[in-house]
Amino acid sequence: GAVVSQHPSWVICKSGTSVKIECRSLDFQATTMFWYRQFPKQSLMLMATSNEGSKATYEQGVEKDKFLINHASLTLSTLTVTSAHPEDSSFYICSAITGRSPLHFGNGTRLTVT
Amino acid sequence: DAKTTQPPSMDCAEGRAANLPCNHSTISGNEYVYWYRQIHSQGPQYIIHGLKNNETNEMASLIITEDRKSSTLILPHATLRDTAVYYCIVRATTTGTASKLTFGTGTRLQVTL
């Protein structure tokens, strides 16, 4: 159980375009979802926390207007990277939790901006 | 959440037990110890967690010292597929925003033939 699905697994886009990444909890309702970013050879860095039906909480230094997060249902959260630039190229990972269970992670989305 | 300290890397021969240490000397009474691992280019995988008693599941065992200031993750018979970065994280088990995990640099375990 506790499967988190992330789509797409990889995407290449041109500079200036926007990219949407989906995160779904397949067999449970996720009250809270988290979005992380990971650059090569570095650890995961939390970008934002989203609770279903409310605005996301962003970590310091993360631009909320650039990284739009929508958590419209208990099973789906989306991260949209707007006006992407090469420096936004990274591995984006979502995670989801329900109640007091451990966090479960998606398999990540590798974004390459050319 | 309390900070953890892990060795940056470890090697283990296939078939042997891998013992991964973690120091968390500032852990609070309501904080659990969680272990995750990340295989290259994948999302982190939950392994095990515990509060103060030793825990075992199909993947690993977790040994927590009596003073709870350190713990050891044990993979009883390491295989090449266990090669990954292992993260030890302490946090209070709670709900909502406070349930976020803060990742350190972890231990890169290399299992060799």
pLDDT digits (tens, 9 = 90+) for B66-87: 999 999 999 999 999 999 999 9
Q: Which residues pair with A96 in a beta bridge?
A: A33, A104
Of B99, B105, B106, the CB nearest to A103: B99
CB < 8 Å to A108, chain B: 41-43
User: What's the rounded Cα separation, in Å, for the pair A35 and A45?
Assistant: 9
So what's the pLDDT on residue A27? Answer: 86
Q: Which amino acid is at A74?
A: L
Q: Note whether A97 contacts B105, CB cutoff 8 Å.
A: no
Q: Note whether B41 contacts A108, CB cutoff 8 Å.
A: yes
The answer to whether the CB of A19 falls within 8 A of the CB of A80 is: yes
Tokens for A23?
């995160």
Distance of CA B100 to the CA centre of its chain: 16
SS percent in chain A: helix, strand, coil, step 5: 5, 50, 45
Closest to A48 (Cα-Cα) out of A28, A23, A73, A25: A23
So what's the pLDDT on residue B92? Answer: 80
The larger pLDDT score, comparing residue A31 to residue A99, is at: A31
Residue A101 confidence class, pLDDT cut points 50, 70, 90: confident
Q: Which residues contact B78 (CB under 8 A, 6 or more apart)?
A: B12, B13, B14, B15, B16, B17, B18, B109, B111
User: What's the rounded Cα separation, in Å, for the pair B24 and B70?
Assistant: 5
pLDDT in tens, B54-68: 999 999 999 999 999
Distance from CA of A72 to the nearest CA of B (A): 16
Residue B38 confidence class, pLDDT cut points 50, 70, 90: very high
The answer to whether the CB of A96 falls within 8 A of the CB of A4 is: yes
So what's the pLDDT on residue A106? Answer: 95
Residue A64 above 70 pLDDT? yes
Of B44, B95, B101, the CB nearest to A100: B95
Distance from CA of B46 to the nearest CA of A (A): 7
Percent of chain A with pLDDT over 70: 99
For A13, B22, B63, B90, the CA distances from B25, given in Å and listed in that order, are 45, 9, 15, 11
User: What's the rounded Cα separation, in Å, for the pair A91 and A37?
Assistant: 6
Of A99, A103, A110, the CB nearest to B101: A103
